[in-house]
Structure 1
Amino acid sequence: MTTGTGETADQSPLPTSPVLQSTNRVIAAMTDPWDHPRTAVSVAIMCEFAAQGEIPVETLLTGTHLDTAALADVDTVVEASQELAVIRNLAAAAGDRPGLGVELGSRYHLTAYGYLGFLLAASASVRDTVHRGLYYAMLTFAFSTMTARIDDHDRYVLAFEADDMPEGIRRFVIERDLTAVMQIQRDTFPDHEAVPLREIRFAFPPGPAAVYRDYFRVPVSFGCERNEIVYDAGYLDLMPPMANTHTTQLMVAQCDRIRAERLHHTGVAAQVRAHLLDQSALDLTVEDVAEHLHYAPRTLRRHLEREGTTFRALIEEVRRSVADNLLRDRTIPHYEIAHRLGYQDWSSVVRAHRRWRRMRH
């Protein structure tokens, strides 16, 4: 949808962050943690990419507790740790070669981000998309931390850091995330010539020149101080061709809702969820998990309460997720499913499944 002639595409107020007050050169920065649940879209993209390189999907999903059926389910929620496991598996299976992240990142089209993709396409200006894209980072699949600034040469620079990523996949993650941002730009502005992109900078050693040249189509430098995309500052004032006030207002409401939900799935809650997903049987008590995470049970309960959840809610959520995967496989005996979910018998699984269905509807 496009705005009509003369329509002001000045949409709802942009989200703000204390980071923006630190310097007049920084215009936006990610503040939310990357360790949050996300849709299965990114894992599905990686599996499709791997399949074209004749890498079995099973190889990518090893150790993730995911299967191909789960990737096709729009209700599947993937933990950050599960997606990182897929990234490790893909990098290892593909030979961990430089440029691999660029090849993959080009497949992250605007439509992969759901409501956020529509919001970015409908925003009034690139400056708005920068603010909103970094504010709603929880709706993306990025493991990099991004900061947007105007440099001393009055150019707009988007910088990427991934210092908390394992060294073996750090380059891959940076390449994928940086290229995914570039792909959003290209989907938003089909006329590439209208975008004043000037340079790509990587802190890594050089890779195969053709991979970077063919995709970025601008000078690519290696061994730089930071990983960055560099534009003329005028890029921030461009209006996306599909800018639309009404759509923006609708999408902001949806993105706010999802971001709030995912904030409740980070921190200590994320640690509890990740530990539960690693268990062979979900018959654990809060005392069991507290001991593993080195908390007193009362302290663990207090942390979860601050994050808007409880141990009971988390174990129910994990049971529901695990059950969705197990119940698709008709070859698994009922007693095994019951044991994996931490129930004494199959009738308990049936009652729980009915309860979960009611909650969804």
Structure 2
Amino acid sequence: MTTSAGVRPDLAECSPTPATEASKRVIAAITDPWDHPRTTVSVAIMCEWAAQHGLSPDALLRGSHIDPASVGDAEALVEARQEMAVIRNLVSAAGARPGLGVELGRLYHLTAYGYLGYLLTASATVRDTVERGLHYAMLTFAFTTMTARIDPGDRYVLALHADDVPEDIRRFVVERDLTAVVQIQRELFPGPEQVPLLEIRLAGSDDDDVYRDHFGVPVAFGCTRSELVYDASYLDQKPPMANAHTTQLMVAQCERIRVERLHHTGVAARVRTHLLDQSSLDLTLEEVAASLHYAPRTLRRHLEHEGTTFRELLEEVRRSVAENLLRERGIPRSEIARRLGYQDWSSVERARRRWRRR
């Protein structure tokens, strides 16, 4: 593991002991899936960055099935996998280099999040911004799953997990989400030394000065997960524009949008919901199409327009169901295999190996 000069041993530690793990206290976590519709603001940010760096914005949209005219539409929504297609094109065009996500992440200002940005600005304490930011993750563009906890030694740690994000864009996504979090905090508390960020831990092994130069704190590489580490007293700080009345108004707006997106009427969402309701996932596109009153070709075309396929959705749901079933002790392997639509346990094991490679 490589760190910047002068890193204290307690800050550089990437692998806490089992006793330390047991004494951690989770205070908030993202519970909604990242595979939700979002506004085109993030796509617009990436396209604008591309244009400024001599890359074609049209090339970024290639294969995403996003109408270029919708990128400037404040009401337009895209599926998560459509944004992923844009990210994949960006990484390919710009080169999968360390720090690319940092360059983009610092462009995600508070104003990019609409009502949620106002809610974070008006919240009474940083703890409130953490809890509300993670609860309303559906109003962001994050692909990482974040967990906020208190560690021994009065450390507030925000951990970012991206195991279920495709590997070819995983580093970019973690860098972008992590940097966007820091950017929001720097805008909530403008001025030097206002945010007591102590250290950044990165799961990647790319030791590059771009990370230390941007964040201005020690950076540890090759860690088991990516994390932001703060002094826990930061959670009690009051944002300078805190306002109880505005908070109440914005909570109502954010809750309305979250509920709308949870019940999004996109075809991919309908297929996903239908699959989750089945007692067995041994299903074909034709069977699902008939249940949802689509012709198979029509369903396939709708899913393609939303940037996904029936096979991808089936794999996604199988993986999600498998993770839930495997947490429950006492369920026979044969029952898990049947529920996932496989004939035997060996098929489940092969599927799990395939999921881990993604």
TM-score in terms of structure 2 length: 0.70
Q: 2:89 and 2:183 mapped to 1: Cα distance?
A: 24
Q: 1:49 and 1:143 mapped to 2: Cα distance?
A: 19
* Contact 1:99-1:207 within 8 A present in 2 as well: no
* Contact 2:138-2:261 within 8 A present in 1 as well: yes
Q: State the identity as a percent.
A: 67
Aligned residue runs from structure 1 range 284-299, under 5 A: 291-292=284-285, 295=288, 297-298=290-291
Alignment correspondent of 2:350: none
**CA deviation after TM superposition for structure 1 residue 24, in Å:** 7.1
**CA deviation after TM superposition for structure 1 residue 206, in Å:** 2.1
Q: Deviations over 1:26-57 (max 9, x none)?
A: 00000001111000000000001111111101
* Contact 1:35-1:270 within 8 A present in 2 as well: no
Aligned CA RMSD, in angstroms, stands at 2.7
* Contact 1:198-1:218 within 8 A present in 2 as well: yes
Q: 2:95 and 2:25 mapped to 1: Cα distance?
A: 40
Q: Deviations over 1:318-349 (max 9, x none)?
A: 79x99xxxxxxxxxxxxxxxxxxxxxxxxxxx
Q: Give the secondary-structure state (helix, strand or coil) at the position aligned to 1:118.
A: helix
Q: Which runs of 5+ in 1 are unaligned?
A: 1-21, 274-289, 302-309, 323-361
Alignment correspondent of 2:183: 183
Q: 1:266 and 1:237 mapped to 2: Cα distance?
A: 40
Tell me, yes or no, if structure 1 residue 156 matches structure 2 residue 153: no
Q: Deviations over 1:259-299 (max 9, x none)?
A: 000001289842649xxxxxxxxxxxxxxxx852753734x
Q: Deviations over 1:208-263 (max 9, x none)?
A: 21x11221011111001210000000000000000001100000000000000000
**CA deviation after TM superposition for structure 1 residue 95, in Å:** 0.8
Alignment correspondent of 2:70: 70
* Contact 2:24-2:151 within 8 A present in 1 as well: no
Distance 1:175 1:113, change over 3 A: same
Q: Give the secondary-structure state (helix, strand or coil) at the position aligned to 1:205.
A: coil
* Structure 2 counterpart of 1:204, one-letter code: G
Alignment correspondent of 2:85: 85
Alignment correspondent of 1:102: 102
Q: 2:98 and 2:270 mapped to 1: Cα distance?
A: 32
* Structure 2 counterpart of 1:73, one-letter code: D
Alignment correspondent of 1:138: 138
Q: 2:84 and 2:265 mapped to 1: Cα distance?
A: 16
* Structure 1 counterpart of 2:263, one-letter code: H
Distance 1:74 1:201, change over 3 A: same
Distance 1:185 1:68, change over 3 A: same
Q: Deviations over 1:36-91 (max 9, x none)?
A: 10000000000011111111011100011223321111121111010000000000
Q: Deviations over 1:174-217 (max 9, x none)?
A: 000000000000110002312211001101012421x1122101
Q: 1:70 and 1:295 mapped to 2: Cα distance?
A: 30
Alignment correspondent of 2:56: 56
Q: 1:150 and 1:293 mapped to 2: Cα distance?
A: 49
* Contact 2:156-2:230 within 8 A present in 1 as well: yes
Distance 1:293 1:135, change over 3 A: farther
Tell me, yes or no, if structure 1 residue 232 matches structure 2 residue 225: no
* Contact 1:35-1:266 within 8 A present in 2 as well: no
Alignment correspondent of 1:217: 216
Alignment correspondent of 2:309: none
Q: Give the secondary-structure state (helix, strand or coil) at the position aligned to 2:288.
A: coil
Distance 1:162 1:191, change over 3 A: same
Alignment correspondent of 2:264: 265
Aligned residue runs from structure 1 range 185-334, under 5 A: 185-209=185-209, 211-265=210-264, 269-270=268-269, 272=271, 291-292=284-285, 295=288, 297-298=290-291, 300=292
Aligned residue runs from structure 1 range 120-131, under 5 A: 120-131=120-131
Q: 1:63 and 1:217 mapped to 2: Cα distance?
A: 38
